[in-house]
């Protein structure tokens, strides 16, 4: 797939060229010119390259929207940590039976959300009212997300998963397995605290299972990835009103991108008006 240049990156190049041109002209005609910011606060650059660390050899378990509780796992998946009507909003029961699936989705319906989803063992909010005290310190994108208290900054974030050399991408849509407090593993690179199911550290959907050709209990590598850096349009781009491949405004960094573009335009206009 050919590289896609964002509006912000194009504007940034334009700004740099403008400032270089002004600097060259100033050498010929007078004193140097400094571009004023006009009091414009610089937002965090959402296009800055971030090296999210790999979590290697992590036991993955399979879960699905609508999964009923079991004696070993009493939590049903009709709701997620962030969506009390997850099954309804997804469109139905994400049946894991391979005989009842087609094209990485259930035969019975077309999902209204991305069928490539995961759960990770951390929830950044408490009772939908406030962020946990460590959230602003450990979540890499917390500052640029600029979410109000109680509004998760984690839901919808993208992860890259590798199993035996095959790669897929998915969105973070629930919390688990087994715990929702393990920020040291999710963000700081420590081993999972959970000891159940061979120390499972990520739940993956049936679509991920089928695409990667894995089974519950296999080990995978995974890391976070900013949406704009995903260059491959696989089946994770097909479904869902929460999917930025289909609806760009669903990019978790969409608002941050807009703020940065607005900032670059102000700087450009300030330089042009000198």
Q: Do 24 and 136 belong together in one domain?
A: no
pLDDT digits (tens, 9 = 90+) for 113-154: 999 999 999 999 999 899 999 999 999 999 999 999 999 999
Q: How far apart are CA 82 and CA 262, in angstroms?
A: 30
pLDDT digits (tens, 9 = 90+) for 5-25: 454 555 454 454 444 444 444
Percent with pLDDT over 70 in the chain: 84
pLDDT digits (tens, 9 = 90+) for 57-90: 999 999 999 998 776 766 789 999 999 999 999 9
pLDDT bucket at 1, cuts 50 / 70 / 90: very low
50 belongs to a structural domain = no
| Nearest residue to 117 (alpha-carbon basis) of 51, 164, 161 | 161
Q: Do 153 and 25 belong together in one domain?
A: no
> What is the pLDDT, as a whole number, of residue 75?
76
Q: What is the domain range of residue 208? A: 55-250
Q: Do 21 and 143 belong together in one domain?
A: no
Q: Do 168 and 118 belong together in one domain?
A: yes
20 belongs to a structural domain = yes
Tokens standing for residue 63? 């879960």
Q: How far apart are CA 162 and CA 51, in angstroms?
A: 16
Q: Do 162 and 145 belong together in one domain?
A: yes
Number of neighbours of residue 6 by Cβ within 10 angstroms: 14
Q: How many domains does the chain have?
A: 2
């Amino acid at each position: 797939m050919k590289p896609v240049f964002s509006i912000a990156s194009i504007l940034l190049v334009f700004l740099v060229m403008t400032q270089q041109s002004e600097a060259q002209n100033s050498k010929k005609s007078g004193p140097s010119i400094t571009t004023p910011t006009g009091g414009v606060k610089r937002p965090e650059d959402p296009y800055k390259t971030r090296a999210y660390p790999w979590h290697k050899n992590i036991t993955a378990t399979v879960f699905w929207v609508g999964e009923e509780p079991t004696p070993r796992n009493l939590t049903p998946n009709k709701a997620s940590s962030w969506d009390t009507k997850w099954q309804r909003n997804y469109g139905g029961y994400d049946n894991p039976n391979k005989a009842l699936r087609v094209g990485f989705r259930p035969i019975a319906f077309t999902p209204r959300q991305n069928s490539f989803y995961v759960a990770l063992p951390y929830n950044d909010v408490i009772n939908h009212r406030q962020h946990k005290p460590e959230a602003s310190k450990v979540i890499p994108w917390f500052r640029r997300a600029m979410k109000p208290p109680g509004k998760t900054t984690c839901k919808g974030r993208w992860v890259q998963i590798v199993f035996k050399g095959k790669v897929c991408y998915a969105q973070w849509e629930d919390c688990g397995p087994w715990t929702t407090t393990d920020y040291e593993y999710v963000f700081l690179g420590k081993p999972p605290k959970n000891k159940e199911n061979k120390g499972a550290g990520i739940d993956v959907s049936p679509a991920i299972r089928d695409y990667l050709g894995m089974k519950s209990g296999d080990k995978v590598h995974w890391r976070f990835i900013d949406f704009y850096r995903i260059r491959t349009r696989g089946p994770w781009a097909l479904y869902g009103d929460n999917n930025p491949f289909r609806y760009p405004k669903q990019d978790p960094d969409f608002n941050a991108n807009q703020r940065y573009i607005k900032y670059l335009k102000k700087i450009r206009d300030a330089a042009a008006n000198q």
